[in-house]
């Protein structure tokens, strides 16, 4: 595995786009958490559990995260690059913790409870970004940047929460952590050839993310249109489908020839 990443016009363009996004966000005014966000369409209580369906719809994420961690730790996933195993494990640990954090949050939606959901999500976003970076651009640089990026992600959540407690909430940097990787990832998939076959699995996960966010935005409208189902519950199910697609990639993909780990 070579220690240096080759820098060309493509990586410069990706870095430039990331830098431009950070500059734009930095000059925007602070964005506090909208408390209306916590008023979900489906607030039914079942078996004494508040917001029952928003809580239990996280179960597939918990199970997929646990199965993913176990499968990768036991080296049962030939469709992942062995050198990136710590990143894959972190991703599925993030899925597991996101499911748990989201379930806890939906029991009593508030700034204090969504904190745990967002901390877990940063593991998921940053590790997936680094996994794709490693498979398409550079294994060594992915391994070097995954922990600093996770630290930045966690810091963005802590920063938001501290500013909320002081009456001047600021979500800008957490928004960057969540959305910038999802903007850059399609560019990486389009500009670079993967070391693995089956890139469609990655597109599947990204498509599921986009659909899940759409369902979240349409929470109340979908609840009115679909008896018994709200957009937020559908978001959890669609997200789980995306994670399952990525989990299957660990068994179906193959390495392309003797592509070097650079």
**pLDDT tens digits for 176-200?**
999 999 899 999 999 999 999 999 9
Higher pLDDT, 13 or 121: 121
Check residue 76 and give its pLDDT.
87
Q: Quick check: is 29 in a domain?
A: no
Place of tokens 């996004």: 21
Q: Quick check: is 69 in a domain?
A: yes
Q: Quick check: is 235 in a domain?
A: yes
Average pLDDT over all residues of the chain: 92
Q: Quick check: is 1 in a domain?
A: no
Q: How does pLDDT run across 38-52, given as a tens digit for each residue?
A: 999 999 999 999 999
Check residue 1 and give its pLDDT.
43
pLDDT band at 261 (very low <50, low <70, confident <90, very high): low
Which residues, at least 6 apart from 7, have a Cβ–Cβ distance to it below 8 Å?
Answer: none
Percent of the chain past pLDDT 70, that is, above it, reads 95
For range 136-150, the mean pLDDT: 95
Check residue 5 and give its pLDDT.
66
Q: How far is CA 231 from CA 35, 96, 158, 243, in A?
A: 18, 21, 28, 18
Coil, strand or helix: which one is 79? coil
Q: Is residue 3 pLDDT above 50, yes or no?
A: no
Q: How does pLDDT run across 148-167, given as a tens digit for each residue?
A: 999 999 999 999 999 999 99
Q: Is residue 228 pLDDT above 80, yes or no?
A: yes
> In 3D, which of 198, 188, 207, 203 has the Cα closest to residue 250?
198
The domain tally of the chain equals 1
For range 90-115, the mean pLDDT: 97
Query: Domain containing 207: what range?
Result: 44-252
Higher pLDDT, 4 or 229: 229
Q: Quick check: is 228 in a domain?
A: yes
This model's pTM is above 0.95: no
HSE-CB for 227 with a 13 A CA cutoff:
0
Q: Quick check: is 148 in a domain?
A: yes
Check residue 9 and give its pLDDT.
80
Percent of the chain past pLDDT 90, that is, above it, reads 82
Alpha helices in 45-138 (DSSP H): 52-56, 59-73, 85-107, 111-136
Q: Quick check: is 12 in a domain?
A: no
Q: What is the CATH number of the domain that holds 101?
A: 1.20.1070.10
32: how many CB neighbours lie within 10 A of its CB?
15
For range 208-219, the mean pLDDT: 95
Q: Quick check: is 55 in a domain?
A: yes
């Amino acid at each position: 595995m070579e220690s240096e990443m080759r820098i060309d016009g493509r990586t410069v363009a990706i870095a430039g786009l990331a830098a431009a996004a950070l500059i734009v966000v930095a000059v925007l005014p602070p964005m506090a958490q909208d408390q209306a966000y916590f008023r979900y369409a489906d607030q039914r209580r079942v078996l004494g559990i508040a917001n029952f369906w928003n809580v239990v719809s996280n179960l597939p994420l918990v199970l997929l995260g646990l199965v993913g961690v176990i499968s990768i730790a036991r080296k049962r996933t030939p469709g992942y690059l062995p050198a990136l195993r710590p990143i894959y494990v972190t991703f599925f640990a993030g899925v597991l913790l996101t499911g748990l954090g989201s379930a806890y949050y939906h029991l009593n939606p508030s700034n204090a409870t969504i904190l745990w959901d967002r901390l877990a999500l940063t593991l998921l976003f940053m590790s997936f970004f680094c996994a794709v970076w490693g498979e398409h651009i550079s294994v060594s640089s992915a391994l070097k940047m995954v922990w600093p990026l996770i630290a930045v992600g966690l810091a963005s959540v802590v920063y938001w929460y501290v500013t909320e407690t002081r009456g001047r909430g600021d979500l800008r940097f957490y928004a960057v952590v969540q959305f910038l990787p999802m903007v850059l990832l399609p560019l990486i998939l389009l500009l670079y050839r993967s070391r693995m076959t089956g890139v469609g699995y990655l597109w599947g996960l990204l498509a599921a993310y986009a659909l899940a966010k759409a369902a979240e935005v349409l929470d109340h409208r979908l609840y009115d249109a679909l008896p018994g189902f709200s957009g937020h519950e559908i978001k959890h199910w669609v997200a789980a489908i995306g994670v399952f697609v990525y989990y299957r990639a660990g068994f179906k993909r193959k390495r392309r020839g003797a592509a070097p780990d650079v």
